[in-house]
């Protein structure tokens, strides 16, 4: 399989269908297991090395189930924009939390794609590089992570 991003014609403007999708996606984030998984990934998952990142991908890691649930959720969500199903900029503006996980894995992503999963985080990367909101949100999370690391 190729890492090439498909070319889609973006929607000119969001409409009520986009709003309905984004609201449904928000509802899904509120489900109890998903909320717990998001809490784990957002607050506890802080990979400092490639090995730290790789460890969470192993079934015996205590955060593996949360990692799988959250990473596949955000890939599904951002894939909707990448494939033109939902207005990309609108989605990125209203679903930026996935950029936090992407910011955490991005430093290790090239190696992970080479070693294990060539298609890992393709949709999150697409949102981060093809929407203004995605770029801004990713930069914000990267700056926060850098500041947090410097304060330790």
Instruction: Establish if 113 belongs to a structural domain.
Output: yes
7 domain-assigned: no
Q: What confidence tens digit (pLDDT) does each residue in 28-74 have?
A: 999 999 999 999 999 999 999 999 999 999 999 999 999 999 999 99
Lowest mean pLDDT among 14-23, 66-75, 84-93: 14-23
Tell me if 9 is assigned to some domain. no
Residue 77 lies in a domain: yes
- Claim: this prediction has a pTM higher than 0.85: yes
Domain extent at residue 47 = 16-150
Residue 6 inside a domain? The answer is no
Domains held by the chain: number: 1
CA distance readout (Å), 151 to 65, 85, 147: 30, 41, 6
C-alpha to C-alpha distance for 11 and 18, rounded to whole angstroms:
10
């Amino acid at each position: 399989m190729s890492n090439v991003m498909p070319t889609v014609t973006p929607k000119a403007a969001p409409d009520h269908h986009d709003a309905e999708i984004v609201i449904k996606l928000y509802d899904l984030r509120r489900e109890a297991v998903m909320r717990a998984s998001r809490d784990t990934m957002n607050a506890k998952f802080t990979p400092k090395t490639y090995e730290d990142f790789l460890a969470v991908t192993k079934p015996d890691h205590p955060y593996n189930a949360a990692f799988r649930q959250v990473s596949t959720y955000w890939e599904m969500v951002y894939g909707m924009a990448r494939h033109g199903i939902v207005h990309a900029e609108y989605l990125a503006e209203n679903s930026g939390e996935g950029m936090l996980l992407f910011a955490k894995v991005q430093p290790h992503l090239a190696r992970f794609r080479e070693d294990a999963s060539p298609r890992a985080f393709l949709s999150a990367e697409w949102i981060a590089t093809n929407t203004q909101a995605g770029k801004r949100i990713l930069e914000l999370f990267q700056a926060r992570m850098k500041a947090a690391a410097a304060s330790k």
